Amino acid sequence: MCGIVGYVGGREAREVLIDGLKRLEYRGYDSAGLALGSGEDLLIFKEVGKVVELERMLQEVPAGSHQGIGHTRWATHGGVSQVNAHPHKDGSGRFAVVHNGIIENYSELKDELEREGVIFLSQTDTEAIVHLVATSFSRTGDILETLVYLQKRLRGTFALALMWQDRPNSIYAIRRGSPLVLGSSEGEAFCASDIPAFLPYTRRVQYLEEGDIAEASPSGIKIWDEKGRPVERPVVTVDWDVTLTGKSGFSHYMLKEIYEQGAALRRSLKGRVVDGKTTVSRELGWNVEMVSKWKKIHIVACGSSYYSALAAERLLEKWTDLEIKVDIASEYRYRHIPCDTSTLAVFVSQSGETADTLAALRKAKAGGAHCLAITNVSSSTMAREVHSLLLLEAGPEIGVAATKSFTSQLAALFMVALQLGSMRGSLAPHEEERLVDELVRIPHKVELLLEKESEVREIARKYTGSKNMLFIGRGMSFPVAQEGALKLKEISYIHAEALAAGEMKHGPIALLEPEMPVLAVIPRDSLYEKTLSNMQEIKARNASLIAVCTEGDSLVPEQAGSVIEIPWTAEEFTPFLTVIPLQFLSFHIGSILGREIDQPRNLAKSVTVE
Ligand code: AGP
């Protein structure tokens, strides 16, 4: 995934673009670049590394440009190099393009263009776009006709911003399959992959639809559909608080977002669990007749979102009579799984832009399923393509590692499960009341637990030299063990693996040795004794044990060298609490190792390419 930004107006373009790229850096940071209009020609500046490297390069460049496009890259086609960094120009230097997405037929286009004498400088698919623009413009002489033709030729996904030397007061933008929003205010206009890029300058936003072509200029924004017909897109005023996208004094976004979880959960629950009942059916547009028709539920996601779905699976089994299937999106989209009007298909995605999850959504929708998105971004592609939408309300999550979005996804999924159980009559009212009564206490219990950060930091110090770590858990704790292993991998780069605790003796126990720490997620629940036995087996083989257990536990400390205690909660809701120490553990091990916590190597906040 990459971040693109464009600006035209009275400000110093490079300042707006650099500021915007820094706000989009969570989307990818292998290299960065920008093109500035300077009247005579388009000046290109690009550098490997993060935006700050590009900023350094620009210090020598004279000011005075008021038109530009910028890009921060997560490499797909072509390695990380200056020549592969965006923007890319055509041979004549009259056009420059930045792109987020993947052009699936780029080899075919490249062959065709090379036969016409075009010389490629990079290994990127994006370069084929700018050459195609130049060659078709030389035939048509009309920019809109050229961009309509471009869409006909390109296969794949693309959000594009384009500059044309002959239009020093315009930026062109096209959106298909990758997010692109427009911003405008008096005498200036913006385009970007995501709203935070230009939020300090304007709150007036227009969302492009699939296939839309736009021309943004200081006098306003014109939009056409993919056939070149003028269209109107509503201007909305976003009420995001700009400070929400800052670090508010924390060292890293990840730490800030770990601490925000109590407040984020309160926002996720607000108005949705009232007087012992779940009320999300209203915003989902569900009625009893509709809900009674469903026979199965598919939940599809990637990464941390998949692990929150696995936790929900166990509760849906308990609270509903539905047949449940939870799958990884990149698998689900290619499998032959029956899906029809009797299916409720749920797509969990913080960004609402993950390519595999989006493809799975479109497959299920085509199959006739009722599609529900659980996402944190109301303007996301997923949010706009489903039948029902449940927003996390967690506030922007900038750190690449999912933290508050994971616990808010748990809350959203659990409310959906409660709602399905109560509407289908498979969950008794008194049981729903018991559960809701505990659910509304979770935000406070999370906040109590956040006070244990320093305890976890001390434990983290012991494990910064580890090369591997095992995470084990049963029932509701197994998905948490999986999430904890992922956090450690993506933040500290230490290899970690999660196992169902009962699986240890089926092979993995052979791995045990003093250098192989094992973290057991063992709250007081119905499987506690089983996991305690596993801990005894592990201890007997001299591996070092860390444990996350319920306050007051006297048996676990006999097995584990390091213990983090969590407040008691109902078995169904232990994931909200057991995950917090794992978030802190990965953060502190990563910090001690000097890792790029908010922007780990090779990662991006949302993977909008397959
Ligand atoms: C989680 O820490 C990772 N950043 C990653 O696994 C993430 O959960 C996954 O890419 C899914 O992203 P989404 O929720 O935006 O779809």
Q: Please enumerate in sequence order all residues whose Cβ is within 8 A of that of 101, keeping only pairs 6 or more positions apart, or say none.
A: 156, 157, 158, 159, 176, 177, 178, 608, 609
Average pLDDT taken over every residue of the chain:
93
> Is there a contact between 175 and 161 (Cβ–Cβ < 8 Å)?
no
Least confidently predicted of 29-38, 182-191, 401-410: 29-38
Which comes out higher in pLDDT, residue 276 or 432? 432
CA-nearest residue, atom 4 of ligand 1: 401
How many angstroms separate the alpha carbon of residue 358 from the centre of ligand 1?
13
How many angstroms separate the alpha carbon of residue 567 from the centre of ligand 1?
27
Q: What is the pLDDT of residues 56-89, one digit of tens each?
A: 888 888 888 999 999 988 776 777 788 888 999 9
For residue 605, give the ligand 1 atom closest to its CA. 4
DSSP string, 467-510: SEEEEEE-TTHHHHHHHHHHHHHHHH--EEEEEEGGGGGGTGGG
Return the residue matching tokens 């009341």: 433
How many angstroms separate the alpha carbon of residue 28 from the centre of ligand 1?
13
Q: Is the beta carbon of 380 within 6 A of some atom in ligand 1?
A: no
Distance CA 571, CA 370 (A): 30
- Residue 389, class by beta-carbon neighbours within 10 Å (0-12 exposed, 13-18 middle, 19+ buried)? buried
Distance CA 43, CA 517 (A): 53
Q: Is the beta carbon of 245 within 6 A of some atom in ligand 1?
A: no
- Per-residue pLDDT, 242: 62
Q: Is the beta carbon of 403 within 6 A of some atom in ligand 1?
A: no
DSSP string, 367-428: TTPEEEEEES-TTSHHHHHSSEEEE-------SSS-SHHHHHHHHHHHHHHHHHHHHTT-S-
Q: Is the beta carbon of 582 within 6 A of some atom in ligand 1?
A: no
Residue 196 has pLDDT above 90, yes or no: no
Which comes out higher in pLDDT, residue 24 or 416? 416
User: Quick one: which H or E segment has residue 45?
Assistant: strand 42-48
Distance CA 499, CA 326 (A): 18
Secondary-structure percent of the chain, ordered helix, strand, coil, rounded to 5: 40, 25, 35
Q: Where are the alpha helices (DSSP H) in 162-260?
A: 253-259
- Per-residue pLDDT, 245: 64
Distance CA 418, CA 410 (A): 12
Which comes out higher in pLDDT, residue 56 or 373? 373
CA-nearest residue, atom 6 of ligand 1: 303
For residue 490, give the ligand 1 atom closest to its CA. 2
Q: Is the beta carbon of 350 within 6 A of some atom in ligand 1?
A: yes
How many angstroms separate the alpha carbon of residue 463 from the centre of ligand 1?
25
Which comes out higher in pLDDT, residue 76 or 303? 303
CA-nearest residue, atom 13 of ligand 1: 349
Set 2, 191, 302, 339: catalytic member: 2
Question: Which of 304, 308, 353, 358 best tests ligand 1's pocket when mutated (most atoms within 8 Å of CB)?
Answer: 304
Question: Which of 302, 306, 307 best tests ligand 1's pocket when mutated (most atoms within 8 Å of CB)?
Answer: 302
User: In angstroms, what CA-CA distances link 433 with 276, 425, 430, 572, 573?
Assistant: 4, 14, 5, 14, 14
Q: Is the beta carbon of 305 within 6 A of some atom in ligand 1?
A: yes
Q: Is the beta carbon of 606 within 6 A of some atom in ligand 1?
A: yes
- Per-residue pLDDT, 374: 98
Distance CA 174, CA 369 (A): 30
Active site residue 530: no
Q: Please enumerate in sequence order all residues whose Cβ is within 8 A of that of 563, keeping only pairs 6 or more positions apart, or say none.
A: 546, 547, 548, 549, 553, 556, 557
- Per-residue pLDDT, 552: 95
Which comes out higher in pLDDT, residue 145 or 22? 145
Q: Is the beta carbon of 401 within 6 A of some atom in ligand 1?
A: yes
How many angstroms separate the alpha carbon of residue 366 from the centre of ligand 1?
25
User: Of 344-348, 382-386, 508-512, which one has max mean pLDDT?
Assistant: 344-348
Residue 238 has pLDDT above 90, yes or no: no
Distance CA 214, CA 115 (A): 31
% of residues, the chain, pLDDT over 90: 82
Active site residue 605: yes
Residue 311 has pLDDT above 70, yes or no: yes
For residue 400, give the ligand 1 atom closest to its CA. 4
Q: Is the beta carbon of 261 within 6 A of some atom in ligand 1?
A: no
Backbone angles phi and psi of 455, in degrees to 5 = -60, -45
Strands of the sheet containing 42-48, edge to edge, are 42-48, 31-37, 67-73, 3-8, 188-192, 181-185, 204-207, 236-237
- Per-residue pLDDT, 50: 82
How many angstroms separate the alpha carbon of residue 243 from the centre of ligand 1?
23
191 beta partners: 6, 182
Q: Is the beta carbon of 411 within 6 A of some atom in ligand 1?
A: no
Q: What is the pLDDT of residues 485-513, one digit of tens each?
A: 999 999 999 999 999 999 999 999 999 99
Q: Is the beta carbon of 354 within 6 A of some atom in ligand 1?
A: yes
Q: Is the beta carbon of 490 within 6 A of some atom in ligand 1?
A: yes
Residue 31 has pLDDT above 80, yes or no: yes
Q: What is the pLDDT of residues 527-560, one digit of tens each?
A: 999 999 999 999 998 899 999 999 999 999 999 9
Set 89, 110, 487, 605: catalytic member: 605
- Per-residue pLDDT, 240: 72
Q: Is the beta carbon of 349 within 6 A of some atom in ligand 1?
A: yes
Q: Is the beta carbon of 407 within 6 A of some atom in ligand 1?
A: no
How many angstroms separate the alpha carbon of residue 429 from the centre of ligand 1?
35
Residue 244 has pLDDT above 90, yes or no: no
Structure tokens at 72: 């921060």
Q: CA Rg, the chain, in Å?
A: 25
- Per-residue pLDDT, 284: 97
| Per-residue pLDDT band at 222 (split at 50, 70, 90) | very high
- Per-residue pLDDT, 12: 95
Question: Which of 354, 409, 489 best tests ligand 1's pocket when mutated (most atoms within 8 Å of CB)?
Answer: 354
What is the amino acid identity at position 430?
Answer: H
Sign of CA dihedral 549, 554, 556, 560: positive
Torsion of CA 343, 347, 352, 354, to 10 degrees: -110
How many angstroms separate the alpha carbon of residue 376 from the centre of ligand 1?
12
Sign of CA dihedral 216, 217, 223, 224: negative
